[in-house]
A and B are shown apart, each in its own frame.
Chain A
Amino acid sequence: MSNLVSVRDLHVSFRLGKHKIAEAVRGISFDVPENSTVALVGESGSGKSVSAMAIVQLLPENAIVGPTSRIEFDGRNVLTASDSELRAIRGNDVSVVFQEPMTSLNPVFTVGWQISEVLKLHTNLTGRALNDRIIQLLNEVGIPEPKARVDAYPHELSGGQQQRVMIAMAIACEPKLLIADEPTTALDVTVQRQILELIARLQTKHRMSVLFISHDLGLVGEIADHVVVMREGTVRESGPVDQIFGAPRDAYTKALLLCRPRLDVKPKRLPVIDDFMRNENAAQIVLQPRQPRPQEGAPLVEAKGLRKEYRLKTGLFRHKTIEAVKEASFNLYPGRTLGVVGESGSGKTTVGMMLMRLTPATKGQVFYNGVDLLLLSDRQMMEYRRKIQIIFQNPYASLNPRFTVGQILTEPMKIHGIGASDQERFSLAVALSRRVGLADDSVHKYPHEFSGGQRQRIAIARCLSMKPDVLICDESVSALDVSVQATVLNLLLDLQDEFGMTYIFISHDLAVVKYMADDMLVMNQGAIVERGNADAIYAAPQNEYTQKLLNAIPRGYTGHSASPSQHATRST
């Protein structure tokens, strides 16, 4: 089996400003053999996408490829190829599927037109033959009723179908290499599974090579033959999939495998990368099981029959009612964590927003210690506002870029009259930022100077400044890298123990919810389809939809050749 692509000593840097150069890839080497799947795995900033894009020379204008670098594709050196040679390679021999199907398709052209464009460029098909080929392609990627869908516009398709169309365009010219850059990250877990299966099927059918880029080691374990683990522009470890999962040699690989919450155990703390990097024997870290929290006393928050409708105008006098949440009732017990899972559009975020009155509920009641929050005036609500707080998904968007961290932390205290003077509030802010693990000088900095995980810590500190009783985490760790996710989850657990807070943990990530939650709600299309003790639901899901969700979770590497070490057993 010869190599289709061989990358040797690849260096890529980016020119930033006049005198600044940032090194993204520092001398990596890997091969993509024919007819196999190679996965590039790493966290954001590890240089995995840059390395893959260098193969097709689709790098940004300010990129500099090092002089000693060599990339051979099918025996030709890509780095010295002319523009016309490169164009022949792109689309014909190599094609790329990107992360966001919604932005990768042109919204003003039909799906058929966009596929035909690729075919016209690289084949001589015309007329009927062209049309037949398009329908054949749509059929192959599993679009129902391909004949009717040829004339559909991208917005008429779901996210999963759009990604299927992208894949259809990618395989239209039977490429030798398919580069899939996080193709399933933007998709729901059930759709992710389908796309993954589709790529695996196409790979064997067309005998092509796939370069699969992902941050999720678990996902990669299912599809890849070879795995390349990258960090900070270097290759930490590479090898066949059973070696990486069965007997990882590098501390970073071990850490990546362990820091993701697992479905089978519920340790007190998640191991983090730092534990491993400092200590080579960290694999022996004993994962103490966490004791479930007792359910005591009366519920702190009772939601009864919450409902949210949106009215869409469809004509002068007509309108359509869209039910975002049909009916949601649940109880929240003090000191416990309620997990809410569901796919996008299931209404899970809307429930959290209605609880805080950030979105007005159409119907229903929210009792907080017996007081119906939805009936209070704005002034009366102020008192309760600080008791229920929320941490949003995107740490880059939820902090005001023009405020320093100090201002961000002291503002809520000022509003709610916490602390006697500005001086005292400021020292409280310093104490809070220290508590969530930020450096002392952070209070003078602006949000853009922090990484994603650090920003989420700032958001947590802002909530803590009001000493809330209930904290809603709305996809709060979904945008973070796996290793950062683990540290933030650990912090949330510590704070819960320290301050006795009650959490509502909203996420599409079932493994994370399983790790955090005591009780659980499963939502589908605006309705709660299953509820109960989290462990019980994961052990024996009753509802059909819940079963489907749980089955879709990436199982990781399940190869039978692996040694039965704890790393390999990531099964459900």
Chain B
Amino acid sequence: MIPSATIESIHIPPEPTRSRGVWVTAWRRLKNDRVGVVCLVIVAAFALLVLLSFLGIVAGDWQKEVAVPDAPPTFMGPQAVQTGTDPLASVVSKDAKPVDLTDIDPLAPKYEEWKARAAKIQIAETPRADTLPFGADRLGRDVLDKAIKGAEVSIFVGLFAALLATVIGTILGALSGYIGGKVGDFLEWVYNVFTSIPDILLIFAFAAVLGRGITTVILILGLVGWTGMYRLVRAEYIKHHNREYVRAAEAIGTSHLSRMFVHILPNVSHVVLVRMSLYVVGFIKAEVILSFLGLGVPVDQVSWGTMLSEAQAELVLGHWWQLAAATIFMATFVTAFSLFTDALRDALDPKLR
């Protein structure tokens, strides 16, 4: 009923008048938050580190034994060389001639041949460092490299487990809150079953069934952790379900799926995002605990958790640097991430806009 002549003569306004979107506004607000920006930089640095380590550019040879076992950090100076004398020195006289056993030794004829063969094999004795910036573990592996490689695994596990828990929690929460009724009751029942079992026992049960590996850790944490997100999203959906803009969307004929995920989801996204970043922090810590208990990542991989678990034995000998490295990395990342989350929530809250 709009005359077509007017449509053809429409001048489409130029792009620059496009208004600032939710994300642009959020970014502007975040920029004004000094703590938020500092934390963002730290988190970004960690993300870069993880990426570089994943591509093998840094810490690719973390398993190489580059230093003497338990080499201390550089600022402490090299480990004192063992000054104690050989206990056998007093018994064995240095002047005594070696006893010639050639006659009775049945292998004697082979010695020459073996010597020749051994000469062909090059043994490059790599010089082992006495100290490293962050020290070395009991095999002489660089603790710094381990911490970086560990960051890769820990952050990877944290992010993907959080993503999994978020997806499960959001979809189930949306269904339960939006549809309600019998579906809602059923999902509430599932939720109650999951929350009635202590988390750690549930994790043990899953770990026992699924075996070890990074994927397992992600699955376990995701399957156990979705309940909090579910509850939150469900409440938000119940609240938004009867809002007028959703009724208006129904009036123009949008489908249920579209109303659930195109209309309501962006309006509850700030809640979901913040909860998800809390998950990341929580799951990194959970992975540490799992690895510490021996249910986490396999032995040929390193995470902050396995480092901490190794540190237990080392501490007895006074070798504290592995513990320190893992703790500093973890504390920095987790603190920065939580503070960044707070800043993000403030920036995304539509009420504050």
A residues apposed to B, CB below 8 Å: 18, 356, 358, 382, 385-386, 389-390, 392-394, 397-402, 404, 411-412, 415-416, 424, 426-428, 430-432, 435, 440-441, 443-446, 448-449, 459, 462, 466-467, 498-499
Contact = CB atoms under 8 A, between A and B. Distances in A.
Interface stretch (B12-20, B45-53, B294-302): B12-20
B18 A444 contact: yes
B22 interface: yes
Nearest to A440: B13
Interface residues of B, number: 31
Contact of A430 (B12, B32, B263): B12
B315 interface: no
Nearest to B246: A400
A400 B262 CA distance: 10
A394, A444, A466, most chain B CB atoms within 10 A: A444
Contact of B253 (A382, A400, A428, A499): A382
A428 B10 CA distance: 9
Interface in B10-35: 10-13, 15, 17-19, 21-22, 32
Contacts of A449: 19
Contact of B10 (A415, A416, A430): A430
B252 A358 contact: no
A228 to B, nearest CB: 33
A428 B245 contact: no
Given A399-B248, A440-B11, A431 B6 contact: yes
Given A397-B243, A431-B10, A444-B17, 18 more contacts: A356-B251, A358-B251, A385-B251, A386-B252, A392-B247, A394-B244, A398-B247, A400-B263, A401-B350, A411-B249, A412-B253, A415-B252, A424-B7, A427-B10, A428-B7, A430-B10, A444-B19, A466-B252
Interface string B269-297: 00000000000000000000000000000
A48 to B, nearest CB: 25
Nearest to B353: A448
A385 B252 contact: yes
A144 to B, nearest CB: 34
Contacts, number: 90
Nearest to B248: A398
A461 B311 CA distance: 67
A400 B13 contact: no
Interface of B: 1-2, 6-7, 10-13, 15, 17-19, 21-22, 32, 243-245, 247-254, 263, 266-267, 350, 353
24 contacts: A356-B251, A358-B251, A385-B251, A385-B253, A386-B253, A392-B247, A397-B243, A397-B245, A398-B245, A398-B248, A399-B245, A401-B350, A415-B252, A415-B253, A427-B12, A430-B12, A440-B11, A440-B13, A441-B17, A448-B353, A449-B19, A462-B248, A462-B252, A467-B1
Given A386-B253, A416-B253, A444 B13 contact: yes
Nearest to B264: A400
B252 A400 contact: no
A386 B194 CA distance: 44
A435 B10 CA distance: 12
A443 B13 contact: yes
Nearest to A427: B10
Contacts of A394: 244
A428 B244 CA distance: 25
Given A400-B263, A427-B7, A444-B13, A415 B245 contact: no
Contact of A400 (B12, B249, B250): B249
A251 to B, nearest CB: 33
Nearest to A447: B245
Contact of B267 (A400, A427, A499): A400
B266 A402 contact: yes
A416 B255 CA distance: 12
Contacts of A358: 247, 250-251
Contacts of B2: 428, 431-432, 435
Nearest to B250: A358
A444 B15 CA distance: 8
B252 A411 contact: yes
Nearest to A432: B2
Contact of A390 (B10, B22, B251, B350): B251
Contacts of A445: 19
A29 B12 CA distance: 48
A385 B250 CA distance: 9
A498 B250 CA distance: 26
B57 to A, nearest CB: 39
10 A-B pairs with the lowest CB-CB distances in the bound complex, closest first: A441-B17, A402-B266, A412-B252, A385-B253, A397-B244, A398-B244, A445-B19, A444-B18, A427-B10, A400-B245
Nearest to A462: B252
Contacts of B252: 385-386, 389, 411-412, 415, 462, 466
Nearest to A444: B18
A400 B6 CA distance: 28
A416 B254 CA distance: 9
B267 A402 contact: yes
